[in-house]
């Protein structure tokens, strides 16, 4: 982990927020991934985020390890909880509930992913808060919406299965596979963030807040873009193609002399350059491969021809040769290699967060958004449970 200079602790005098959302107060009643990811992004951009957690265990992800960070908290929890403070309040306790309500009534944004009706029964629902805080942006995150699916549990794996993503992911039709990260949660967190920011912008005109609702299933259906459109516009039910693309070829993984190489050829100019560098320029004129629809229809023959040619050199050599001629390609990196690539490209993918309590600092994955004047800031390490006053 990175060793960095010390800074004030969470409960003493946390760093003053800066950035485009400085001055915004977020009451964060979320846990696990979609909601915490959204509130972390808001915190990165300068909002003050107060995370409300159960006194006994806090956010479920605190225990989702190994691996664990140096402060004893799970790496999973660390991944989405920087730039927040934590209060441990039991919402079934009248005093703690009163504290939570007072926080929500002064917040610009309240975001929650409780079971349907749970906060309404405690006087923390949208109707309760907007009556006294008419400018509040109240964002609710659920698995399957607030209607007939309100009682269904919203876990990413479940939605990947029920929402169709696993039916198009895997090596073959008999091996439906989940994506290697909780992609649906992340999509939903991003949609929540967009919705909140849009509602805040509208509030500058009207002076009024509103409720924003997002759910995992709708986010997934939107996020499947061309695959979803194939069904909606053409009645096509996509299936599993492994690493191949349903509408582009060659756009998949190929063997070389040593390791796999991805080719992502999106147009005829790129294909002609690929054929020429492989030493078979006639491929680009072959009627089976002359256009992208031709190449998609004759995918098997195309893959066989390209695989035979790619076997004559290594993946790294092919990458250098093909990239020099404008052909998109690259090896399949592991995560360590991916971070090393980002470093070489000057993207600064890892940044340190100072922490006085730990006597050092921790590394965190950089926010991917850059600003010319008001950059994302890394003020606070993910908080220990209930270490702040709120």
Looking at the structure, tell me whether residues 219 and 83 fall in a common domain. yes
Looking at the structure, tell me whether residues 273 and 216 fall in a common domain. no
Looking at the structure, tell me whether residues 155 and 199 fall in a common domain. yes
Dihedrals phi, psi of 88, to nearest 5 degrees = -105, 100
Is 372 among the domain residues?
A: no
Q: How many domains does the chain have?
A: 2
- Give tens-digit pLDDT for 30-70: 999 999 999 999 999 999 999 999 998 999 999 999 999 88
Is 108 among the domain residues?
A: yes
CB 385 within 8 Å of CB 86 = yes
For residue 102, what are its two tokens?
């007072």
Q: Which one of 185, 286, 294, 388 is the catalytic residue?
A: 185
CB 390 within 8 Å of CB 377 = no
Looking at the structure, tell me whether residues 61 and 210 fall in a common domain. yes
Burial 308-339 (b: 16+ CB within 10 A, else e): ebbeebebeebbeebeeeebebbbeeeeeeee
CB 189 within 8 Å of CB 219 = no
- Nearest-CA neighbor of 48 among 107, 104, 112? 107
Looking at the structure, tell me whether residues 219 and 277 fall in a common domain. no
Looking at the structure, tell me whether residues 271 and 146 fall in a common domain. no
Dihedrals phi, psi of 50, to nearest 5 degrees = -110, 115
Task: Specify the CATH number for the domain of residue 325.
Answer: 3.30.1540.10
Is 216 among the domain residues?
A: yes
Active site residue 44: no
Is 342 among the domain residues?
A: no
Looking at the structure, tell me whether residues 194 and 139 fall in a common domain. yes
The SS3 of residue 250 is coil
Looking at the structure, tell me whether residues 63 and 158 fall in a common domain. yes
Please give the average pLDDT of every successive group of 10 residues along the chain, which has 390 residues: 32 62 97 98 97 94 92 94 96 97 98 95 97 98 95 94 97 94 98 98 97 98 97 95 95 97 97 98 97 97 98 97 97 96 96 70 91 93 86
Question: If you write DSSP's letter for every residue of 153-185 in order, what string do you get?
Answer: ---HHHHHHHTTSGGG-SSSTT-----SS-HHH
Task: Specify the CATH number for the domain of residue 43.
Answer: 3.40.50.10540
Residue owning tokens 């007072």: 102
What pLDDT is attached to residue 387? 86
Looking at the structure, tell me whether residues 142 and 279 fall in a common domain. no
Residue 324's domain spans which residues?
261-331
Looking at the structure, tell me whether residues 92 and 196 fall in a common domain. yes
CA dihedral over 159, 161, 162, 168, signed as positive or negative: positive
- Give tens-digit pLDDT for 287-317: 999 999 999 999 999 999 999 999 999 999 9
What pLDDT is attached to residue 360? 58
Looking at the structure, tell me whether residues 130 and 279 fall in a common domain. no
What pLDDT is attached to residue 5? 28
Pairing of strands 261-264, 251-254: antiparallel
Looking at the structure, tell me whether residues 66 and 128 fall in a common domain. yes
């Amino acid at each position: 982990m990175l060793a960095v200079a010390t800074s004030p602790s969470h409960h003493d005098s946390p760093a003053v927020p800066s950035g485009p959302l400085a001055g915004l107060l977020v009451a964060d009643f979320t846990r696990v991934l979609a909601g915490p990811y959204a509130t972390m992004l808001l915190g990165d951009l300068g909002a003050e985020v107060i995370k409300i957690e159960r006194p006994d265990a806090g956010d479920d992800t605190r225990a989702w390890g190994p691996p664990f960070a140096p402060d004893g908290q799970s790496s999973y929890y660390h991944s989405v909880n920087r730039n927040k403070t934590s209060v441990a309040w039991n919402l079934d306790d009248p005093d703690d509930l009163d504290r939570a309500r007072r926080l929500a009534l002064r917040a610009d944004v309240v975001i929650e992913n409780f079971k349907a009706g749970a906060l309404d029964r405690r006087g923390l629902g949208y109707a309760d808060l907007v009556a006294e805080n008419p400018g509040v942006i109240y964002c609710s995150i659920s698995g399957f919406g607030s209607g007939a699916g309100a009682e269904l549990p919203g876990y990413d794996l479940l939605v990947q299965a029920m929402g169709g993503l696993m039916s198009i992911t895997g090596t073959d039709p008999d091996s439906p596979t989940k994506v290697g990260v909780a992609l649906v949660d992340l999509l939903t967190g991003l949609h929540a963030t967009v919705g909140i920011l849009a509602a805040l912008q509208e509030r500058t005109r009207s002076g009024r807040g509103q409720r924003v609702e997002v759910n995992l299933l709708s986010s997934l259906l939107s996020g499947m873009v061309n695959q979803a459109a194939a069904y909606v516009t053409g009645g096509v039910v996509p299936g599993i193609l492994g690493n191949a693309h349903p509408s582009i070829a060659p756009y998949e993984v190929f063997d070389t002399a040593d390791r796999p190489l991805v080719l992502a050829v999106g147009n005829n100019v790129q294909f002609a350059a690929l054929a020429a560098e492989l030493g078979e320029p006639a491929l680009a004129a072959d009627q089976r491969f002359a256009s992208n629809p031709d190449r998609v229809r004759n995918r098997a023959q195309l893959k066989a021809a390209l695989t035979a040619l790619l076997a004559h050199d290594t993946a790294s050599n092919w990458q250098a040769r093909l990239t020099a001629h404008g052909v998109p390609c690259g090896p399949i990196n592991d995560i360590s290699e991916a971070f090393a690539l980002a470093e070489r490209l000057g993207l600064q993918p890892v940044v340190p967060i100072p922490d006085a309590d730990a006597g050092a600092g921790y590394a965190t994955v950089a926010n991917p958004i850059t600003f010319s004047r008001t950059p994302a800031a890394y003020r606070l390490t993910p908080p220990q449970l209930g270490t702040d006053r709120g």
